[in-house]
Structure 1
């Protein structure tokens, strides 16, 4: 089975975007020149599995930031919703995360970057996430799209390490399970 890995940032009060989906607050002054480990993380994965909401945001990025395969899990989108210039690298699948990971394992994937709040929540509920690298941004949004939601039960985490940055970002790496 493919292992799921999360690399994400959230406000100090636990939101990954404002209610309107704005993420411009994610990079405080000075953070753009710091190495937060994203490139090393990205180099370690075979591709990205994202939810529809994340796709709605990243599909507008110019230039396109991914040179690895992207799987969008959605019950409302089809392959026709992918712009022509991205069709060779982006696939829309209407299936549960576990089925997608089984299918990707059959394609030879070992590690998948799981991206998007609701998808992360679903994958946590199904025990499909191996670890989380969470960067806290020193801002309180007060409301927005939460990183974590209801889970079927408690999820113990093992703290692996934390690092703080001059910009005020604090990054922690957790293994799921104790």
Structure 2
């Protein structure tokens, strides 16, 4: 059975980006070199699903950072050509979260990294997230794009672990209880 997994950072006040999508508060941190666990997290994932906003932000960060196949869910990008430098690495689709997971499962994927705020919210609404690794950055940005949005019902979580880093980041891993 295929499962969705999240690894994401948020400001202490619950935002993943400023209102304009800027993540300078996350990228421009003067902190010691710390292993926050991303290499271990991504190692057992078969594919990545991200939303358009996340995809467009990643494009601004320089060289493509992913060695796993990436499926970008976007009504705006579906049907458009993938940039030449990303062909064979990225696909665009306007599938629903459930259909996207079925498609990846049919292709042999079992564990999928789900990235992007609105996408994460829709995957949670559809019951497609197994666990979340949420890293809280000790900064208040006051406004922005929230990590979590409206849900049709409560989503209960079980804390699996929590750790802190010398830089002040706090990372918590939750299992989703459906």
TM-score by length of 2: 0.96
SS at 1:80 equivalent: coil
Q: Does the 8 Å contact 1:79/1:91 carry over to 2?
A: no
Aligned partners of 1:9, 1:82: CA distance in 2, in Å? 27
In structure 1, the gaps of 5 or more residues are none
Aligned residues: 177
Change (3 A) 1:79 1:39: farther
Note the C-alpha offset of 1:80: 3.2
TM-score by length of 1: 0.96
* Farther off after superposition, 72-81 or 100-109: 72-81
Question: In structure 2, what is the equivalent of residue 137 of structure 1?
Answer: 137
* Farther off after superposition, 22-31 or 113-122: 22-31
Question: In structure 1, what is the equivalent of residue 30 of structure 2?
Answer: 29
Question: In structure 2, what is the equivalent of residue 146 of structure 1?
Answer: 146
Aligned partners of 2:51, 2:81: CA distance in 1, in Å? 14
Q: Matches of residues 89-100 of structure 1 in structure 2 within 5 Å?
A: 89-100=89-100
1:163 matched to 2:163? yes
Note the C-alpha offset of 1:20: 1.3
Note the C-alpha offset of 1:173: 0.2
In structure 2, the gaps of 5 or more residues are none
Aligned partners of 1:133, 1:162: CA distance in 2, in Å? 9
Aligned partners of 2:64, 2:52: CA distance in 1, in Å? 17
Q: What are the superposed Cα offsets for residues 39-79 of structure 1, whole Å, 9 maximum, x if unpaired?
A: 00011101110001111111233211001100000111135
Q: Matches of residues 7-156 of structure 1 in structure 2 within 5 Å?
A: 7-27=7-27, 28-31=29-32, 33-78=33-78, 80-156=80-156
Aligned partners of 1:25, 1:81: CA distance in 2, in Å? 32
Note the C-alpha offset of 1:100: 0.4
Aligned partners of 2:132, 2:79: CA distance in 1, in Å? 29
Q: Which runs of 4+ in 1 moved over 6 A?
A: none
SS at 2:92 equivalent: strand
